[in-house]
């Protein structure tokens, strides 16, 4: 019986010209978004890979130099594009593409792609995620708003009741039909996306992306299921199809239009981040109190010098068995690291608290939860940007340590000192592995829970509303 109902509903949906048109529009936009997302991913990924190799070659080919001068020259770390960014580029346009790893300083990422776009960009980008988060729920509203109210208005509900069809059978049949209609649209896109991934990504990246992609698909499924159940519940509860449509459209707007901005505002209000000026100024002040590596008469340096002289029992720097400049530079790095760890630690904690606040608000608007999860599984959210930034910073520190240790052990305190490619070669190549699915889930399970709770509540509401539905 359920199957018959489902088939009948599905047939009606497919025959409805307006629904067909709406579905077609969604399909066209989704395909365009995925196609261009895929092209973008391939271009940027290739660019970043070749740039990473170029920066390595530059590092190796820098010739004879003082190691500290090489440390100043540094290398660049280019943030790799994750394969699933073809579905959801997330915060990628608003985080920089590369960071310069040089001596003394933890730099900010440079060049946000959104700054290289017109103001039209701020309306939102056409991405796979945007279609899935904004348009597919709208399609669900159109499919479901009159599922019950329409039957009642046509008087067919009474007939069905007299035929002995149970409400649960009807509900399941209708739900299956909605699911079927949406899958009809999304499955081809999903398969095409998989094929595109398989064609372009390296095997390693592909293997890492599959579990993430599966998690993403499940989350979207859960979200759509919750939204569909909500439509069925409202349709059964509302006194007319018109009211059901108004309520559902209102919820849709709150969910996709108002909630993201308002949640960001609220998070920013309660957990404000410092201004870039205050942030930089505090760091500069903290660094100035310590050894800055360029200022030999600083108090800390004299203290350090005295300690070294005492340790090696000599009376001047020239007689030290270690290179004093190297020791001083490394001390400067160590001090700087403490300052940066504290400053960035606080900043990223603030961002984390803002994210947490939005996560709690997603209990009111599940759209926030799927937005959050989609970026997380795509690897394009802020925590994963920070993960890369931390890794790049560790690499920067390892460069400083390698260069300064070389100075300390090999440079003399009286003459010039140069190192060559044998030292540059000792620096391992920059390699980054994005965290796996478990890492993401450990952090983002609350959003998964929110979606599950929403689904449970809306499904229960759909069942209750269907049971209590009046025939007339």
Partner 1 sequence: MIMNHFIRPIGLFRLLRLEWRNLRADRSPVVLAILLALAVGYGVWNGARWMDFQRHAIEEALTEESQRLAKIRDEIRWIDSGQKTPLSAFADPRLPQSFGRNMGLRYAAMPPFALGLLSVGQSDLLPYYFRVSTNPMHSFTANSNEIENPVHLLSGRFDLSFAIVFLLPLFIIGISYNVLSAEREGGTLLLALAQAISVRRLALAKFAVRVAFVLTVTTVVALTVAALAADPGWLGHAGSVSRLASWVVVTAAYALFWFSLAFVVNAVGRHSASNAVALVGFWLVFVVVTPPVLNLAIQTVYPVPSRVELIQAIRSAGEDATRKGSSLLARYLEDHPELAPGGGSSAATADFGTLLVALNDATEKSVQPVLARFEDQLSAQRRMAARLRYLSPAIVVQDALNDLAGSSTERHQMFLAQTAEYHRRWREFFIPRILRGEKLSATDVDRFPAFQFREEGVDAVLARCGVAFAGLAISVAAAAAAGMWAMRRHQVAG
Tell the smallest beta-carbon distance from residue 242 to partner 1 (Å).
Answer: 5
150 binds partner 1 (CB under 8 A): no
For the sheet with 75-78, list strands across it: 75-78, 98-102, 105-106
- Give the residue among 457, 375, 447, 452 at the shortest CA–CA distance from 132: 375
Q: 377 - beta bridge partners?
A: none
Contact between 310 and partner 1 per CB under 8 A: no
Measure the CA angle with vertex 257, ends 376 and 215; round to 5°. 25
Contacts to partner 1 from residues 380-439, by CB under 8 A: 381-382, 385, 414-416
The answer to whether residue 263 forms part of the interface with partner 1 (CB under 8 A) is yes
**C-beta separation of 194 from 34 below 8 A:** no
412 vs 409: CA distance, rounded Å? 8
Interactions with partner 1, residue window 5-64 (CB under 8 A): 25, 29, 32-33, 36, 43-44, 47-48, 51, 54-55, 58
- DSSP string for residues in 143-194: HHTTTTHHHHHHTHHHHHHHTT--HHHHHHHHHHHHHHHHHHHHHHHHHHHH
Closest approach of partner 1 to the CB of residue 166, in Å: 30
293 closest CA partner among 467, 150, 462, 105: 105
Which residues inside 284-303 make contact with partner 1, applying CB under 8 A?
294-298
Count of residues near partner 1 by CB under 8 A = 92
Is residue 152 near partner 1 by the rule CB under 8 A?
A: no
Contact (Cβ atoms closer than 8 angstroms) between residue 415 and residue 185:
no
Residue 420 CB contacts under 8 Å (≥ 6 apart), including other chains: 63, 64, 65
Q: Which CB atom, from 173 or from 260, has the smaller least distance to partner 1?
A: 260
Q: Which stretch binds partner 1 (CB under 8 A): 222-230, 257-265, 388-396, 444-452?
A: 257-265
Q: Does 207 help bind partner 1 (rule: CB under 8 A)? A: no
Query: Residue 101, SS3?
Result: strand
Task: Examine residue 281 and tell whether it contacts partner 1 (CB under 8 A).
Answer: yes
For the CB of residue 398, give the shortest distance to partner 1 in the complex, in Å: 21
Secondary structure of residue 37 in the 3-state scheme: helix
Please identify, among the stretches 161-169, 175-183, 354-362, 421-429, the one whose residues bind partner 1 according to the rule CB under 8 A: 354-362
Interface positions, 111-130, toward partner 1 (CB under 8 A): 111-126, 130
- If one asks whether residue 273 binds partner 1 (CB under 8 A), the answer comes out as yes
Stretches 152-160, 375-383, 427-435, 441-449: which one binds partner 1 (CB under 8 A)?
A: 375-383
What do you get for the CA distance between the two ends of the chain, in Å? 23
Query: Distance (Å, rounded) from C-alpha 353 to C-alpha 355?
Result: 5
Q: Which is nearer to partner 1, 109 or 439 (CB)?
A: 109
Closest to partner 1 by CB, 359 or 455 = 359
């Amino acid at each position: 019986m359920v199957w018959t109902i489902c088939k009948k509903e599905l047939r009606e949906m497919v025959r409805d010209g307006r629904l067909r048109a709406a579905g077609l529009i969604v399909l066209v936009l989704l395909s365009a978004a995925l196609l261009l997302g895929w092209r973008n991913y391939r271009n940027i990924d290739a660019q970043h890979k070749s740039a990473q190799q170029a920066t390595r070659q530059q590092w190796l080919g820098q010739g004879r130099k003082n190691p500290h001068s090489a440390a100043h020259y540094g290398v660049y770390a280019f943030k790799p594009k994750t394969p699933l960014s073809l579905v959801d580029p997330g915060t990628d346009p608003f985080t920089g593409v590369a960071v310069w790893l040089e001596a003394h300083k933890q730099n900010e990422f440079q060049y946000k792609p959104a700054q290289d776009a017109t103001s039209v960009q701020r309306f939102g980008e056409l991405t796979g995620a945007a279609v899935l988060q904004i348009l597919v729920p709208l399609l669900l509203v159109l499919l479901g708003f009159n599922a019950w109210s329409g039957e009642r208005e046509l008087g067919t509900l009474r007939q069905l009741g007299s035929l002995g069809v149970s409400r649960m059978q009807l509900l399941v049949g209708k739900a299956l039909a909605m699911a079927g209609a949406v899958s009809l649209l999304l499955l081809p896109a999903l398969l095409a996306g998989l094929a595109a991934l398989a064609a372009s990504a390296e095997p390693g990246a592909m293997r890492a992306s599959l579990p993430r992609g599966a998690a993403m698909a499940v989350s979207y499924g859960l979200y759509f299921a919750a939204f569909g159940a909500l439509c069925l519940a409202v349709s059964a509860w509302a006194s007319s199809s018109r009211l059901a449509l108004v309520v559902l459209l209102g919820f849709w707007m709150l969910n996709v239009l108002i909630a993201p901005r308002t949640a960001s505002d609220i998070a920013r209000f309660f957990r404000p981040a410092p201004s870039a000026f205050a942030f930089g100024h505090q760091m500069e002040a903290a660094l100035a109190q310590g050894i800055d590596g360029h200022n030999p008469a600083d108090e800390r340096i004299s203290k350090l010098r005295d300690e070294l002289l005492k340790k090696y029992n000599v009376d001047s720097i020239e007689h030290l068995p270690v290179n004093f400049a190297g020791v001083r530079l490394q001390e400067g790095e160590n001090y700087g690291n403490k300052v940066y760890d504290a400053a960035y630690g606080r900043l990223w904690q603030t961002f984390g608290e803002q994210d947490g606040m939005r996560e709690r608000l997603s209990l009111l608007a599940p759209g926030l939860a799927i937005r959050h999860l989609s970026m997380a599984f795509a690897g394009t959210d802020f925590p994963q940007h920070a993960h890369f930034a931390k890794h790049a910073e560790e690499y920067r520190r390892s460069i400083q340590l390698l260069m300064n240790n070389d100075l300390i052990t090999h440079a003399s305190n009286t003459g010039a000192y140069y190192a060559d490619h044998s030292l540059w070669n000792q620096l391992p190549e920059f390699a980054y592995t994005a965290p796996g699915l478990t890492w993401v889930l450990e952090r983002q399970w609350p959003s998964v829970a929110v979606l599950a709770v929403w689904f449970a509540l809306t499904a229960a509401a759909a069942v209750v509303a269907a049971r209590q539905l009046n025939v007339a």
